[in-house]
Amino acid sequence: MKLAAIQQSCSDDKETSLAKSETLVRQAASDGAELVVLQELHATSYFCQTEDTSVFELAEPIPGPTSERLGDLARELNIVLVGSIFERRMNGVYHNTAVVFEKDGSIAGLYRKMHIPDDPGFYEKFYFTPGDAEFNNGSSGFSPIQTSVGKLGVLVCWDQWYPEAARLMALAGAEILIYPTAIGWDVTDSREEQARQLDAWITVQRGHAVANNLPVIAPNRVGSEPDPSGHSEGIRFWGNSFICGPQGEFLARADNTGDSVISATLDRTRTESVRRIWPYLRDRRIDAYRDLLKRVRD
């Protein structure tokens, strides 16, 4: 199966950003991709650099204008498409939501970001309610979404630092781990610190691939975005989107310079063959892990 990840810079204007997303998705589909993954919050600039109640006007219901536009695109191109929407679930409840569209344009499933950061320049707790730990059917919030191209373990950005999320997706039968992302540098950081942060981001996700014998798709935004408040010098999103295989091997990788479509052909038998010689899931000591349910060990 051929799959693609989209890396793009974004605009304050939703129409401009979505038009660029659409152009890049069309490029990926024309190259034969059956699964295309867009980055986190690709319809707008990264508004979480400040806390501003007027930003909630950007949020949309699902279904809504953006989901309908992306669904129409998936149907036209006959692809499975993963998009990102600032979701208005009800008055006062908003989510950072990944939406998976089937080839017929229907919504195959939603994933509402579970881990929400709150750091200088990334004030997401102001905007986003965490996804529900359990849905009405009793399944975990970390549940893969069934599509015609397989079971997709969709997570979002800050989720990528947590091995528990990746493992729960793997245990539920995910065939691919997907991390739409918006991460970048404080432009005042030294080059050495920037290199350490980028290396950590790549390494931890490749580690999830290795530990769960699953391919990983990680599209990240790119470009510099100013701080609307003027209190900082803004964020330089570092791009470096990548696709890796179930042993962490790079299959495709972008740089940090601009918009990009990266693609790879996935051997869907690799996970099975790798798990036969690296049976991590077989050897888990589930009888000894109960302390993971504690915030800290006493």
Is 298 domain-assigned?
Answer: no
Note whether residue 63 is domain-resident.
yes
- Model confidence pLDDT, tens digit, residues 249-285: 999 999 999 999 999 999 999 999 999 999 999 999 9
User: 199 in a domain, yes or no?
Assistant: yes
Q: How many domains is the chain built from? A: 1
**Of 34, 157, 225, 244, which one is the catalytic site residue?**
157
In a domain? residue 73: yes
Q: Which residues pair with 107 in a beta bridge?
A: 101
pLDDT mean over 231-246: 95
Cis upstream peptide for 279 (omega within 30°): no
Q: Is 157 designated active site?
A: yes
Q: How far apart are CA 35 and CA 41, in angstroms?
A: 18
Q: Which of 113, 124, 225, 244 is catalytic?
A: 113
On whether residue 224 sits in a domain, the answer given is: yes
Decide if 40 is catalytic.
yes
CATH number assigned to the domain comprising residue 71: 3.60.110.10
Buried/exposed code over 79-112 (b: 16+ C-beta within 10 A; e: otherwise): bbbbbbbbbbeeeeebbbbbbbbbbebebbbbbb
- Could you say which of 34, 40, 87, 124 is catalytic? 40
Q: What is the residue range of 136's domain? A: 2-293
Q: Where does residue 178 fall: left (phi above 0), alpha (psi -120 to 50 degrees), or beta otherwise?
A: beta
> What pTM does this model have?
0.96
Closest to 215 (Cα-Cα) out of 252, 258, 262, 257: 252
- Residue 244 CB partners (closer than 8 Å, separation 6+): 205, 206, 209, 215, 216, 250, 251
CA distances from 126 to 34, 130, 153, 182, 231 (A): 36, 11, 26, 17, 18
Q: pLDDT by residue (tens digit) across 184-230?
A: 999 899 999 999 999 999 999 999 999 999 999 999 999 999 999 88
Render pLDDT for 66-110 as a digit per residue (tens, 0 to 9): 999 999 999 999 999 999 999 999 999 999 999 999 999 999 999
